[in-house]
A = this chain, B = another copy of it.
Amino acid sequence: MAAATLKNIQKCPTSYVLAIQDTLNAFQGKWKMPIIGTLLFGKKRFKEIEREIPKITPRMLSQELKDLEMNGIISRTVYATSPVTVEYELTKSGKQLSKVVEAMLEWGLQHRRANMLELLPILQTKTA
């Protein structure tokens, strides 16, 4: 099961396309990646997340947290304190997203290296 499922896509196109769609959905919009990213470092409360993600509004954060919860990526735990304490945490499945993020990081880094090498001659004629 480990590798090269992609080349078998013609065997089962529909469910493969749906699976990829699901992953894309997990990161959709401006705020889901930062939220997942910050929760990869451990469970956090609403205000903590809000503080760690610059410029996010409580409306957006609330909306995205609900969305991620509905999709089984995070779980929400309410503690019966007063006022209530609420903690958000990645589910088992949510934590597995680190593998996808890892692949994204790897690609992004190599892509930047590749593009830099391509731009280098241009930069040299500019400074020469």
Measured CB to CB, the residues of A under 8 A from B are 3-6, 9, 15-16, 18-24, 26-27, 33, 37, 40, 72, 92-93, 96-112, 114-115, 118
| Complex CA–CA separation, A96 to B111 (angstroms) | 9
Judging by beta carbons under 8 Å apart, are B105 and A19 in contact?
Answer: yes
Pull 17 A–B residue pairs with CB atoms less than 8 Å apart, ordered by A. A5-B106, A6-B98, A9-B105, A19-B109, A19-B111, A20-B37, A20-B105, A21-B108, A22-B111, A24-B33, A72-B115, A93-B111, A96-B107, A97-B107, A99-B106, A100-B103, A103-B103
Q: Are A105 and B24 in contact (CB under 8 A)?
A: no
Provide the residues of chain B in CB contact with A15, threshold 8 Å: 109, 112
